[in-house]
Amino acid sequence: MFSERLKLSRKRSGLSLHALSSEMDNIASAQAIGKYERAEMMPSSTVAIALADALDVTPSYLLSPSSISLESVKFRKLSSTRARERAAVEADVLDQVDRYLQVEEILGIDTTEQDVPEGAPYRVSEMEDAEDAAASLRAAWNLGSVPIQNLTELLEARGVKVLKLHLPERVDGLNCRVHRLDGDDVPVVVCSTGKSVERQRFTIAHELGHLVLDIPSTISEEKAYHRFAGAFLAPQGELIRAVGRRRNNFGLDELIDTKRMFGISAAALVIRMRDLGIIKEGTQRAIFRGIGNNWRTEEPHPLNRKELPKRFRRLCRRALAENEISDSKAAELLRLRVSDIDGFMIGSTS
């Protein structure tokens, strides 16, 4: 409904009621906008157009029905995330998932089709259970023990919406479920475009852990999710085959080759080897004091590939090609100008 779309768009823009009123040259007061958001009154067509212009959305978007909401939102580094930043991120997530679900509905795709493996959520009573859960999920998804080439595409194929957004510096990622009034909840994981590909992959695997693990309060959640992410990206057997069962030291070139093999950050790789007993605590400290003294802030020799979520744009191209949507509807879904749609179809728009 209009009130929900208006509030969503305003939060996504990071504007207060007074700031939005100012952006639209005070055509509507902050008090009036508040009433629109509370569904206490509806704006005139002139005011609705001004609101849409100020929020950089179309009037039809504001007037479209919306029946989704966020449930169980979990931010990494929650304590240092400001309330306004959280609100803007949550609004952006809702907006993107809403458009995603719209094109799926237009094409008649079953948005409830999620590949939830038997036995999930996996109960974690000790850290080794997180390791076992990663192995169980890999087995359920027929991944074997080889490195995952594109984690984003894998999760999208399994029914998880993967979003990559410009997040505040202090936010690595988040996970949530989008609740729909007329359907099953939709699992969503989000990571920051401001991080390296390696960090993005680890964040996605970490957030996947939130969706498939059942962790009691007696266990450190973050450590369990980290253990799951490391095991999912770098399975024990394959990693041991690559580097050996016991090591006392590593050179930089070997570490770089190994982290590229598994698509995992250098720091996460070292911690993973410590968790598996390949190296001892003292060796880990020595690596971080020496060649890895700045790895937590700057990824060494980062991967030069990208893992972009492509399914949504692929579905929009399909809907356009089949004349299921008009150019103007495609522009609304994709947040493009109508004049850019021809370029989008032939690939000149990324």
Convert the pLDDT of each residue in 324-343 to its tens digit: 999 999 998 998 889 999 88
Asked which of 64-78, 137-151, 158-172, 242-256 is least confident by mean pLDDT, the reply is: 64-78
What's the rounded Cα separation, in Å, for the pair 154 and 233? 12
The CA-atom distances, in angstroms, between 216 and each of 122, 128, 221, 224, 349 are 11, 14, 8, 11, 46
- Phi, psi angle pair for 58, to nearest 5°: -90, 150
Residue 186 has pLDDT above 90, yes or no: no
Task: Report residue 296's pLDDT band, with 50, 70 and 90 as the boundaries.
Answer: confident
Mean pLDDT of the chain: 89
pLDDT at residue 80, as a whole number: 59
Per-residue pLDDT tens digits for 10-23? 887 888 999 999 99
Distance separating alpha carbons of residues 157 and 135, to the nearest angstrom: 19
- DSSP secondary structure letters along 160-192: -EEEEE---TT--EEEEEEEETTEEEEEEEEEE
64-68, 170-174, 256-260, 346-350 — which is least confidently predicted? 346-350
CB neighbour class for 286 (10 Å; exposed up to 12, middle 13-18, buried from 19): middle
